[in-house]
Amino acid sequence: MSLRPAAPLLAPSLLSADFTRLGEELRMIESAGARVVHVDVMDGRFVPNITIGLPVVEGLRKATALPLDCHLMILEPLRYAADFVKAGADWVSIHQEADPHLHRTLAAIRQAGGKAGVVLNPGTPIETLVDLVGDFDFVLLMSVNPGFGGQSFIPRVLDKVKRLNALRAARGVPFFIQVDGGVSLKNAAELVRAGADCLVAGNAVFKAEDPKAAVAALLREMGAGRQA
């Protein structure tokens, strides 16, 4: 997983799904071709919203074989990060802004058997990660301010993806680049072209008129971006 995926991955975000029928929503994205499920965990402190916790992740684990990608928008992530892996998360990402001990928390995630990611808010520079290269499996660049689905993509994040891609090439250490927030058909190809390997999409999938067709269309755009 430290190697870049052969094809870019789409990770539908359950934050925008119908919480009364999560099992059906999982079936739908599976059959549409999604290969990762994005799970937004919010604590009401790091971000204003409260969403999903460990028992729901345990339930999701039983309901799908797809990798669960848990994006922890919580303070003091070391307290819970390994528990999310034990609950069934395959990937766990923690915010740079929420943890003064990133090295320790990333190691705890890996030790528990998960893939470890660092998340950067739109205003946090990629340079804050240079001394951690090799200690994470992926970097998630937020393209909205975290806390809510359905927000508008912040265009300057595109340049951040390019710079992170260049840093990755310069250091020769492979890691995934993931982008989350406001991803749509308008920006998917360009993000992949810039170096993104995995795009998270909530509203663009679950609020679409035909969510299955939306997954297919996003995957098509992403494939075009990789070829360009």
Ligand X SMILES: O=C(CO)[C@H](O)[C@H](O)COP(=O)(O)O
Residues involved in catalysis? 40, 180
What residues between 59 and 88 interact with ligand X by CB under 6 A? 71
Closest CA to 161 of 151, 147, 146, 176: 176
CA distances from 89 to 12, 61, 80, 116 (A): 15, 8, 12, 11
Q: Binding to Fe ion (CB under 5 A): which residues in 25-84?
A: 40, 71
Nearest CA-CA partner of 64 in 38, 100, 44, 102: 38
Candidate list 114, 202, 211, 225; residue touching ligand X; CB under 6 A: 202
The span from the CA of 39 to the CA of 11, in Å, is: 9
Asked if 29 touches ligand X (CB under 6 A), the answer is no
Counting beta carbons within 10 angstroms of the beta carbon of residue 97, is it exposed (0 to 12), middle (13 to 18) or buried (19 or more)? middle
- Site string (145-184) toward ligand X, x via CB under 6 A: -xxxxxx----------------------------xxxx-
Shortest Cβ 80–Fe ion spacing (Å): 16
- 121 touches ligand X by CB under 6 A: no
- Phi, psi for residue 95 in degrees, rounded to 5: -80, 135
Q: Give me the residues that bind ligand X (CB under 6 A), please.
A: 13, 15-16, 38, 40, 71, 144, 146-151, 180-183, 200-204
Binding residue numbers for substrate: 13, 71, 147-150, 180-182
